[in-house]
Structure 1
Amino acid sequence: MTTTLDSPRRKASAYLYRKPKLRLGILLSAPMLWLGLAYLGALAALFVTAFWSTDVFTGQVVTEWSLNNFLTLFSDAVYRTITLRTVGIAALVTVVTAIIAFPMAFYMAKFASPRARRLLVIAVMTPLWASYLVKAYAWRTMLSGNGVLHWLLNPFGLDTPGYGVLATVITLSYLWLPYMILPIYAGLERLPNSLVDAASDLGARPFRTFRSVVLPVTFPAVVAGSIFTFSLSLGDYIAVKIVGGTSQMLGNVVYDNIGAANNLPFAATVATVPVVIMLAYLAAVRRTGALDNL
């Protein structure tokens, strides 16, 4: 007679206990399957569609392989300008958010009391709970000719930047700032205070301490934050529609070709550009070894 200890369930449990890698593989099988089908499958379909074309008379997708979309994308000066503008805006947003985020994160990690630290973390995360559109339109109102910024700058003889590339950078920097603050804050929390004290005892000035001690330790955290801000800015198309004026980014080209132009293959071709740029960026970051310490 089979005892409880000899039941199939007990045997399977004991076997999986002895095989931790197999147990981990079974646990990850469902999410990895979903990742493969929903994400990697969608990317594969995107890349395949980029090589197709659209019949100019019927508007139907022609499933014949061709490089015409890529030739149009790289030979047209307008698309090259939009690509450079998109990369420039994403890079500038990343730099601006890093400059603003570092002192804020440093104060939170090294000077604020535990109670104030918790409150500051909540304050940083609170804007993430608000609607993207509400925040973007709030900046549109502030950047307008009769907005808050005009009221503040007018006494000094200055005016608001209006709508355009600068307004897009300001809006995106505000939107993605928490994604830079939180990784840097986490990295600074791992920085031992004894290292900073030792640098000071050895006669290092504040800038030397920052350059030789603080920055190397927190560099992986800055890289992690830059991945978020750079990729999110690279694929954004809503903020530039709201505050960008006549400026366009790659996301706007994708949106217009899906909607008004009804040219899905060319939209897929344009959409591959941010993906390739991010893959190249991640490869460059990986070569520096920064991701190994995250």
Structure 2
Amino acid sequence: MAAGQGLTRRVRLAFLLAPPLTWLVVAYLGSLAVLLVSAFWSTDEFTGAVVRTFTGDNIVRVLTDEVFRIATLRTLAVAATVTVCCAALAVPLALYMAKVASRRVRLALVVAVTTPLWASYLVKAYAWRMLLSPAGPLSWATGFTPGYGLVATIITLTYLWLPYMVMPVYAAFERVPDSLIDASADLGSSDLTTLRLILAPLVFPGIAAGSIFTFSLSLGDYIAVTIVGGKTQMLGNIIYGQLVTANNQPLAAALSAIPLVAIVAYLLAMRRTGALENV
């Protein structure tokens, strides 16, 4: 009887998981496989049509072309900088939300952090374009603006992805028992010592979980770079240019493998921190 019930449970579980797993394998992993395979194709020089014959020219060009190499380093640097900026802003805010603010203030801050996620990406990006304009409100108020370029790109991406860092860090602080903080204070530790020795190790997986979002989203972004980046070239808009403007799908696919490999490597690195359990 028990064996029959176990078999029935497994059959029900199989029927429950079959649709999402099929979608994952066919639509998601299948599209990635097609992307990687198409990186070894080429295009006809006269018609621009994709030629499905195996060649490693695109991979060689991606690895040896100085423009692509510089864009890769710039993209990785921007993604890392945005992640650090988001963490620097999120940690004190999340600490205040979780351990200091009253219930009403905490709710208001959670709403304030998450509300921008409901706004259009383009509206937010163009709002920052107007704000950072040489003749924009920031220039009127302070007499200074970074204008359009690398700094504007980092500022805009930091704003766009900050909620994805705040919420995992806030959840991590929420899970820390208040008794640990009280015990540290009773033993004579300063607030800084408690933050460094007690809270930081416990909250770090939450920071690492948030960094997965901020790093990967910054790595693949091309819209914000186009809107506020000026002449800044990152991998995202180079891939877009090769795909849409140059009509070179195989080269765009080869370039797309760079952020894909970077994200996989980052996930493997973050796995050791316990970040994946906090995502």
RMSD between aligned alpha carbons? 1.8
Q: What is the aligned partner in structure 2 of residue 116 from structure 1?
A: 105
For 2:85, the equivalent position in structure 1 comes to 96
Q: Which of 158, 162, 181 lines up with 2:147 in the alignment? A: 162
Report the CA distance between 1:18 and its aligned residue. Answer: 5.7
Alpha-carbon distance in structure 2 between the residues aligned to 1:201 and 1:232 = 42
1:26 aligned to 15, 37, 47, which one?
15
CA distance in 1 between partners of 2:204 and 2:105 (Å) = 25
Displacement of 1:153: 1.6
Q: Distance in 2 between matches of 1:249 and 1:86?
A: 5
* TM, length-normalised to structure 2: 0.95
Describe the SS at the equivalent of 1:259: helix
| Mapped pair 1:203 → 2:203 | no
Structure (1 or 2) with the larger CA radius of gyration: 1
Identical positions, percent: 56
Deviations 1:196-228 (A, max 9, x none): 111111122222211111111111111110000
Runs of 5+ consecutive residues of structure 1 not aligned to the other structure: 1-10
Mapping for residues 141-152 of structure 1, pairs under 5 Å: 141-152=130-141
Q: How is 1:48-197 mapped onto 2 (pairs within 5 angstroms)?
A: 48-154=37-143, 159-197=144-182
**Is the Cα contact below 8 Å between 2:59 and 2:254 reproduced in 1?**
yes
After superposing on structure 2, the runs of 4+ consecutive aligned residues of structure 1 that deviate more than 2 Å are 14-26, 287-294
AA aligned opposite 1:197: D
Of residues 24, 33, 43, the one that matches 1:35 is 24
- Offset of residue 16 of structure 1: 5.0
Q: Is the 1:17–1:23 Cα contact (8 Å) retained in structure 2?
A: no
Which residue number in structure 2 is paired with residue 277 of structure 1? 262
Amino acid aligned to 1:200:
A
Q: 1:5 maps to what in 2?
A: none
Deviates more, 1:229-238 or 1:282-291: 282-291
Residue deviations 1:232-290 (CA, integer Å, cap 9, x gap): 00000000101000001111111111111000000011111111000001111123444
The one-letter amino acid of 1:147's match is G
Query: Given the two structures, how large is their TM-score scaled by the length of structure 1?
Result: 0.90
3-state SS in 1 of match to 2:110:
helix
Specify every segment of 5 or more residues in structure 2 that has no aligned partner in the other structure, as ranges. none
Partner Cα distance (1:19, 1:113) in 2: 49
Alignment-derived partner of residue 233 in structure 2: 248
Match of 2:210 in 1: 225
The structure-2 alpha-carbon separation of the partners of 1:293 and 1:59, relative to structure 1 and needing over 3 Å to count, comes to closer
Distance in structure 1 (CA, Å) of the matches to 2:194 and 2:162: 25
Structure-2 separation of matches of 1:164 and 1:182:
29
